[in-house]
Structure 1
């Protein structure tokens, strides 16, 4: 009984991360965190320099489209914090192989490039990545505090 009372007393102060889907709308340059089919957070994003269409090969500067998963967090890279996306999928690899192309990889959600001195609001006003999804550093901190590795991410135009 004492354990139950303690649990009920602490429950209002507990922070639960129940984000069950990340959704990216490339056409609107928005990333949404979704919990139980309800948008809980919305972020402005920047994409690859050629954002329209699905990534088909290394160097095309496109952001992939489809269902992927958040994999692992990197704290030490050329960008302020990042989380890897499971691109390329088996379908992506097979599609590239048919046309004898390298599907590329290393697609992440990340903050600004380390050493960036321009205001985040300015940098995020245009597409500047090579195919990744970029958030401001402040938004990246919020994002990583709310999502877990393994969370699905749907990316669409």
Structure 2
């Protein structure tokens, strides 16, 4: 009974909210009414999913690629602070990005605040992340793990686990000397915005990426 009352209360609340918005729109001029409709639609669009799918369809059409033939590849170029999304070598989209606070060189341990360099894969997607949206990459790679093993940053058992996670494109442990988790998230891409090693984007851009690529997508991070 309690659950039923709660559900009815939710319906009443949302119904009242919709009626209130309609009443406001009826009382304002036509241009302002359009702005209100846009804002109302945005509020109903969970983290830009509907908008992002539609906008990305336009990018695919411009590139001459159908949605069914879209095979995403993400390339990040650190020196130009730029992300490029390709499909079968065709450029689909370009976005500005933010990087780790230490911008020179690849990540070598958990605390150096560098963005890694190498080949990775999207291993997880979190739409309830504190940084708006988060696409985790399966850092560290086999090469990262091998270098860390030689430098006594990780143990043999950790090396084997990390290499296995990278080869299978799954989420690696984040409690080794190499740190993590790292990935691509929102909250900004200005030159003043830096991270502990992840790649940051403007929210509107990370929404486009998040809703249009899947786990297993390759992510190449270049110097």
**Which TM-score tier does this pair reach, normalised by the shorter chain?**
0.7 to 0.9
Structure with the higher fraction of residues in helix conformation: 2
CA offset at residue 16 of structure 1?
A: 3.9
Structure with the higher fraction of residues in strand conformation: 1
- TM-score of the pair, normalised by structure 1: 0.80
Counterpart of 1:156?
222
Counterpart of 1:72?
124
Larger RCO of the pair (alpha carbons < 8 Å, separation 6+): 1
SS at match of 1:27: coil
Unaligned runs of 5+ in 2: 1-60, 154-176
CA offset at residue 92 of structure 1?
A: 1.2
Unaligned runs of 5+ in 1: 1-11, 113-119
Contact 1:17 1:147 in 2 (8 A): no
Deviations 1:26-56 (A, max 9, x none): 0000000001201110000000001221100
Over the aligned positions, Cα root-mean-square deviation in angstroms equals: 1.8
Highest CA radius of gyration, 1 or 2? 2
How far apart, CA to CA, are the structure 2 residues paired with 1:21 and 1:88?
19
How far apart, CA to CA, are the structure 2 residues paired with 1:15 and 1:155?
25
Deviations 1:84-105 (A, max 9, x none): 0010122212211221221112
Contact 2:118 2:141 in 1 (8 A): no
1:81-100 map, 5 Å: 81-100=133-152
Counterpart of 2:100?
48
Is 1:147 aligned to 2:213, yes or no?
A: yes
How far apart, CA to CA, are the structure 2 residues paired with 1:100 and 1:75?
36
How many aligned positions are there?
Answer: 136
Contact 1:17 1:146 in 2 (8 A): no
- TM-score of the pair, normalised by structure 2: 0.57
Aligned with 2:191 (options 125, 146, 155): 125
